[in-house]
Structure 1
Amino acid sequence: MLRNPIGLSYAVVALLAATAVTDVALFAAALDVRLLMSGGLKDHPDPAGFAHLGLDVATVVQVLSQLALGVVFIVWFFRVRKNAGVFAPDGHRGGPGWAVGAWFVPVANLWWPRTVAAGTWRASRRGAYGDGAGKGESLALLNWWWAFWILTSLAGYFAGAVYDDADTVEEFAAGAGFLMGASVVDIVAAVLAILFVRRLTSMQHHKATGMIPAAQ
């Protein structure tokens, strides 16, 4: 049974945009720390406290935003995978449950969600089983999104570890710099995710209305 994913896609896109905004805040907070370490915030009454507190607050807000995003994204992902099973019942590796479970399997979560997404994408293209893909229906967008999803996960983990382990002025400056870089990568990943969600949702909508004339 097909279920419309458009409403969920709006929620996912809104949370992705919110996450990008928290990345901007985290970038600014990390820049404050970096400026502090280079003597650029001397005029603040409590430069060290101001900079580190700002970074801590931005990090907490980002984590909360990402948790909300993760829940809503997985619900959307499960729905589009279920729809793809209607479009092409035998065109997938594993059942719809993997749209949820694949994210929580250590190591396998580096590639298995992408496999689920690829099967869903192919099934959602034009044609009975996703054949005859047209412009904008190649896997390029999906691949770019997944590459940056992996990259931002690794960059965030590395930058956080460097900053948390810092003891000297130089180490804090380096950690803040890595956090700034990770924020930029995460913004790019969020933009690509928005494009991916919108495109896949649109593909499913158009395919569903073609399969069910009454929906037109």
Structure 2
Amino acid sequence: MPVRPVRGVGLAASIAVGAVAVCSLLSLASTLVGRSLAERAAGTGDQDNLLVAALVEVATAVPFVVAYLAAIGLVIVWTYRARRNLDAFPGVLPGYSAGWAIAGWLVPFVNFVIPAQVMRDIAQSSLRRGGSGRLVALWWGSWLVFLVGGRWADRVSSREFDRLPESPTLRSEFYDYADHYTASFNRNLLPTLAGLVAGATLIVLIRRISAAQHARMRSGEPYGPVVPGMTVPSPE
């Protein structure tokens, strides 16, 4: 049965995941910049400071979206290849078919469970060491906090921002913007930290699994299922 290289796409996925983590930190930092500019505007009465704060927020949001979409695509490709390779490894009986490596991310509600199950299959079948299940659980739990918490924080911040005066003139109105950025920072702090944990653990999983699968391909072990009566050569 054919095997698929996973090291190259795994490296690309790891870089994209790392970029998402960096961009999420920059997005969190932009709220602190916004608060500082809003407080400066309260002292000077210059609305241009609020415009700069909005531009900083957009400048950090766009790279995050690009990195996020790239990471999702690359992780799905890597997961599919790694799962297909299990079919060529004798004695491996994964619980989910290779199709779920893609569909599991795309089907609503199912995507809260299946990707973790597929990753657990891949990790436990590829890594010949304990602890892979706990690592997958840590990755998926922190990912859900990042995903759900981040979306909640964005929606609350968006509604809060819509209630702010469009053309503030009073000192208190400028401070309303400063309070908004402070609250936004507080809401996004936990999801951002969870995203860093999720990114780090996912990179570890990708690198370990990729290395393990390539080592098995080079070891001389046969590819394909083992059937009764089949002679399995031992690796030299």
When normalised by structure 2's length, the TM-score is: 0.78
2:214 alignment partner, SS class: helix
Cross-structure match for 1:179:
188
Single out whichever of 57-66 and 181-190 deviates more from structure 2: 181-190
When Rg is computed on C-alpha atoms for both structures, the one with the higher figure is 2
Contact kept in structure 2, 1:156 and 1:179, CA below 8 Å: yes
Equivalent pairs: percent with the same residue? 25
Distance 1:40 1:201 in 2: 50
Offset from partner CA, 1:3-34 (integer Å, 9 cap, x none): 12111111011111211221221122111123
- Residue of structure 2 in register with 1:163 after alignment: 157
2:35 matched to which residue of 1? 34
> How large is the Cα RMSD of the aligned pairs?
2.5
Tell me the residue number matched to 2:96: 94
Measure, in 2, the Cα distance between the counterparts of 1:23 and 1:11.
18
Paired positions, count = 206
Which ranges in structure 2 are unaligned for 5 or more consecutive residues? Answer: 165-175, 223-232
Contact residue 25 and residue 192 of structure 2 kept, 8 A: yes
Report the Cα offset of residue 71 of structure 1.
0.8
The code of the aligned residue for 2:191 comes to A
Q: CA deviation at 1:61?
A: 1.4
Structure 2 residue aligned with 1:10:
11
Structure 1: 5+ residue stretches without partners:
127-133
Q: Distance in 1 between matches of 2:118 and 2:124?
A: 10
**1:129 corresponding residue in structure 2:** none
The whole-number CA distance in structure 2 between the counterparts of 1:110 and 1:205 is 29
TM-score, structure 1 as length reference: 0.84
For 2:118 and 2:90, how far apart are their aligned partners in 1?
13
Q: Which residue of 2 aligns with 1:153?
A: 147
Determine helix, strand or coil for the equivalent of 1:96. coil
2:63 corresponds to: 61
Q: For residue 125 of structure 1, what is the aligned residue in structure 2?
A: 127
**Following the alignment from structure 1 to structure 2, what is the Cα–Cα distance between the partners of residues 44 and 3?**
61
Structure 1 CA distance for aligned equivalents of residues 44 and 185 of structure 2: 20
CA change 1:140–1:53 in 2 (3 A) is same
2:86–2:92 contact (8 Å) kept in structure 1: no
* Contact 1:34/1:173 (8 A) holds in 2: yes
Determine helix, strand or coil for the equivalent of 1:103.
Answer: helix
